[in-house]
Amino acid sequence: MKYLYVYPELCTGCRECSLACSLTKFGECNPKKAAISVVRDEFERFEYPIICLHCSDALCQKFCPQNAYYPENGILKWDKNKCIKCRFCATVCPYAAITIMDNEIIKCDLCNGDPKCVKVCSTQAIRYEEETHELTDQRNTLAKKVLGK
């Protein structure tokens, strides 16, 4: 199963990911109306992309009084017709990965297996990868670091 992984150290803060997301979902360019958010402050000197992790024991799903959230093939989806826009999901998400804007609940659905944000990231700060690949990469990096390779 492939998921989105973010690497804040590679993020340059350009927000192309958010713009691609808002463009795909709403036909407009608006970095604040996107399922991926880049928190940044040039004075505090950080860039940090935030995206839904599709938790297997997700709080948004657990606490949604309408049962609007449901997993489907590993993707945590949201049913617009059940949603009453109470915004509780956004409040309980520990990663603040659900966006509310213009009375819309905006949550990543991985663009049905073809996430647009990844395609416009120029530094590979967001990647769409198999869980195993991601972990293998992390382990290799760690091993090299420890061994000084």
User: Applying CB under 8 A, does 45 fall inside the site for other proteins?
Assistant: yes
Among 83, 116, 129, 134, binds other proteins (CB under 8 A): 116
Judge contact between 30 and 22, C-beta under 8 A: yes
How many Cβ atoms are within 10 Å of 11's Cβ, its own excluded? 22
Write the secondary structure of 109-143 as one string of H (helix), E (strand) and C (coil).
Answer: CHHHHCCHHHHHCCCCCEEEEEHHHHHHHHHHHHH
Encoding tokens for residue 63? 């606490």
Among 2, 24, 59, 109, binds other proteins (CB under 8 A): 24
Task: Output 9 or 72, the one with its CB closest to other proteins.
Answer: 9
Encoding tokens for residue 128? 């769409």
Residues 82-101 that bind other proteins (CB under 8 A): 101
Residue 83, by phi and psi: left (phi above 0), alpha (psi -120 to 50) or beta? Answer: beta
- Beta bridge partner(s), residue 104: 101
Task: Give the alpha-carbon dihedral of 136, 138, 144, 147, to 10 degrees.
Answer: -100
27-35, 67-75, 89-97, 136-144 -> range binding other proteins (CB under 8 A): 27-35
Among 74, 85, 87, 102, binds other proteins (CB under 8 A): 102
Among 3, 5, 6, 22, binds other proteins (CB under 8 A): 22
Task: Output 51 or 121, the one with its CB closest to other proteins.
Answer: 121
Task: Output 66 or 109, the one with its CB closest to other proteins.
Answer: 109
Q: How far is the CB of 124 from other proteins (least distance, A)?
A: 11
Provide the binding-site residues for other proteins, judged by CB under 8 A: 9, 12-16, 19-20, 22-24, 26-33, 41-43, 45, 47, 101-102, 116, 119-120, 122-123
